[in-house]
Amino acid sequence: MPMPDLSSRHALLSERIQAACKAAQREPNSVELLAVSKTKPPGLITEAVALGMTQFGENYLQEAVEKIQHLEQLSLAWHFIGRIQSNKCKTIANAFSWVQTLDRSKVAQRLNQFRTVAEPLNVLIQVNLDDDPNKGGVDKQNAEHLLEQVLALPNLAPRGLMTILAKSTDSRVGYQSVAQLHDDLYKKYASDLPQWDTLSMGMSADIEAAINAGATMIRVGTDLFGARTI
């Protein structure tokens, strides 16, 4: 049985998502939930699966690999959302089906080189809109360069953009700007991009602004699993 905490938080979150879709005149099912399970135990993930969640985001590789192995039978989609060290690319390339934090060509090449799973690795280019030195990501110009490089790599499937905004950035303005870039890149490269369908933006505090700007995937940890103590 799911913990009452998790099921009531999930119900509240689902209501927020529905309300935000309605306010933005979007289809209620046009936004996917990525459950950010970093620091949370496998038992809690199993409970989330019982509530219908299938996509999970992890930041810390060692911890993630243990959980992925532990929950192998459940056929979940695992998304890597942490900073990527290039010496970890071999593990990341095969343990996950998505990498949302791609921000440099060397890492793209290594993920491509090491991916041995038959299906390509889905990747999102991380955009650092506010040039915040505390997080990864490329600026708008470099997003296009990086996309061109990814297009030449057969084991990577570019699916869209991901962003984390600085606290000081107005979230409506910031998310709209990344959504615009997502559209502009699609217009320019449409014939090479059969599946450019994902815009991953919005976390616990600001999913409404992200959904309003066109997010197709929100990444929620705290408002789903509770505060992280570590």
Q: Does 203 bind ligand PLP (CB under 6 A)?
A: yes
Member of 8, 30, 46, 222 binding ligand PLP (CB under 6 A): 222
User: Which of 7, 59, 169, 176 touches ligand PLP (CB under 6 A)?
Assistant: 59
Contacts of 196 (CB under 8 A, 6+ apart): 158, 159, 160, 182, 185, 186, 189, 190
8 A C-beta contact, residue 104 and residue 85: no
Minimal CB distance to ligand PLP: which residue? 221
Under rule CB under 6 A, residue 220 binds ligand PLP: yes
Instruction: Name the residue among 148, 136, 165 with its Cα closest to residue 105.
Output: 148
Residue 219 is a binding residue for ligand PLP (CB under 6 A)? yes
Q: What x/- string results for residues 129 through 148 when contact with ligand PLP is judged by CB under 6 A?
A: --------------------
Task: Give the residue carrying structure tokens 């959904």.
Answer: 211
Contact 100, 79 (CB under 8 A): yes
Residue 12 binding ligand PLP, by CB under 6 A: no
Shortest Cβ distance from residue 177 to ligand PLP (Å)? Answer: 18
The residue type at 157: A
Helix (H, G, I), strand (E, B) or coil at 191: helix
| Residues near ligand PLP, by CB under 6 A | 36, 38, 59, 81, 164, 203-204, 219-223
